[in-house]
Amino acid sequence: MRLTTKGRYAVTAMLDLAIHSQAVPVTLTDIATRQTISLSYLEQLFARLRRSGMVTGIRGPGGGYKLSREAKDINVADIIAAVDEQIDSTKCGGKGDCQNNQACLTHELWIGLSDQIRNYLEGISLGDLLQKSSVKEVAKRQEGDAKKILDTTLRYRETRLENA
């Protein structure tokens, strides 16, 4: 199976949102800073996630995004599907035309692997991931790193204004 950055980034961003949007909406800028994902790329992903009903956008001051359902009700496979990523280990995209328009020798093996991966990812919700101590530790570290970046950026801007 080849999971591209689109699927990986979507899951990462949704987990970040699940962690941080419990009290207030989260901006894509905040997610981009914590996860080092391009803001423009996140905008594209969140347009798809919004269309699929995974997230809700809140406009205006203090706006951002929130999960549209509880974290326990959103599984990883659904997030990947929402951004048009395929969970497929076959060379033919599951069509069975991998060799001269017919199934190849190992087609059923790769179909079975794809099914196993899909079932595994369907069985893991954002809520499950939120309970993991390793996820909590990384989120705490990232929050500290993002604060340092923000502080450095603010100091840089203040220095530029003083020197202007």
SS (H, E, C) 67-124: ECCCHHHCEHHHHHHHCCCCCCCCCCCCCCCCECCECCCCHHHHHHHHHHHHHHHHCC
Nearest-angstrom CA–CA distance, 52 and 31: 19
Under 8 Å between Cβ of 33 and 146:
yes
Q: pTM for the whole thing?
A: 0.84
pLDDT of amino acid 1: 60
**Domain span at 24:** 5-131
Indicate if 151 and 85 belong to the same structural domain.
no
Q: For residue 156, what are the CA distances in angstroms to 28, 126, 144, 150?
A: 22, 36, 18, 10
Indicate if 82 and 40 belong to the same structural domain.
yes
Under 8 Å between Cβ of 117 and 87:
yes
pLDDT of amino acid 163: 80
> Which residues does the chain have with pLDDT short of 70?
1-2
Indicate if 123 and 149 belong to the same structural domain.
no
Nearest-angstrom CA–CA distance, 78 and 94: 19
Indicate if 56 and 113 belong to the same structural domain.
yes
Domain count, the chain: 2
pLDDT of amino acid 21: 87
The first and second tokens of residue 161, run together, are 């204004």
